[in-house]
Amino acid sequence: MDPARLPRWLDGFRERHGDGDAVVDAGALVVTGADGVVARLHPPPGAPLGADLAEFIVNASQPRRLGLLLARKGAAAFGVAWGEELERHKVESWYVQSRTAAGGQSQQRFARRRANQAAAAAGKAADLAVRVLLPVVDELDVVVTGGDKPTVDRILSDPRLAPLRARRGSRHLPVGTPNFADLRAAVTAARAVEVHLSV
């Protein structure tokens, strides 16, 4: 949920479920309605949780500088955003052979070739991360990742990217083959408050 919508959503929650408690618990703000319905609010990556509901709303709404790293085996997208604005970005793709139905030695040969291509692509993606994200790492509130997690982990395992690893947030975004549109959408998703309802 966009942080700007949160106050109105909370007003609606109170109207539907009645006033109740709001307490901090396990990295989330837990709002309980009078009827027992519970809303767990998780702050956006890089935003402090806050001690109460008012502070949570203020913190969630503040603009933050985000580093974005989205990747799959054959493509990667990197960006730096301030609030809703994408300040800098780079999207690149590389050839990685698709899986084959061949059997025996041919299948093993294709698998080795594919693994080598994936490793080379991850190395090139790490080079791009060095160019796009590393120069501003000290200005980033958090690094938000997305896509294929093993590929992202492989990119971030590059020793040069240790400062990015140190700022990596816990939220990992679902992304297909990364492109510029995905990068724009990731800015919105990385700013969102996650809301989970339960009875």
Q: How far is CA 176 from CA 42, 45, 72, 191, in A?
A: 24, 21, 8, 19
State the average pLDDT over residues 130-134: 96
Q: Give the predicted TM-score (pTM) of the model.
A: 0.85
pLDDT the model gives residue 123 = 83
pLDDT the model gives residue 98 = 60
State the average pLDDT over residues 10-22: 91
pLDDT above 80 for 149: yes
**Could you give the percent of the chain with pLDDT greater than 70?**
87
State the average pLDDT over residues 14-32: 91
Q: How far is CA 3 from CA 26, 67, 97, in A?
A: 20, 19, 41
State the average pLDDT over residues 171-183: 94
DSSP letters, 119-171, are HHHHHHHHHHHHHHTGGGGGG-SEEEEEE-HHHHHHHHTSGGGHHHHHTEEEE
> Rounded to an integer, what distance in angstroms lies between the CA atom of residue 142 and that of residue 131?
17
Please provide the CATH number assigned to the domain covering 65-191: 3.30.420.60
Higher pLDDT, 158 or 123: 158
By residue count, the chain amounts to: 199
State the average pLDDT over residues 136-157: 96
pLDDT the model gives residue 96 = 56
Q: What is the mean pLDDT of the chain?
A: 89
Contact, 137 vs 163, CB < 8 A? Answer: yes
State the average pLDDT over residues 53-68: 95
pLDDT above 60 for 158: yes
> Rounded to an integer, what distance in angstroms lies between the CA atom of residue 113 and that of residue 19?
60
Beta bridge partners of 42: 194
Of 2-16, 89-103, 166-180, give the lowest mean pLDDT range. 89-103
In tens, the pLDDT along 120-130 reads 677 889 999 99
> Rounded to an integer, what distance in angstroms lies between the CA atom of residue 182 and that of residue 197?
27
- pLDDT band of residue 198 (cuts 50, 70, 90) is confident
pLDDT the model gives residue 194 = 95
pLDDT the model gives residue 13 = 93
State the average pLDDT over residues 20-34: 91
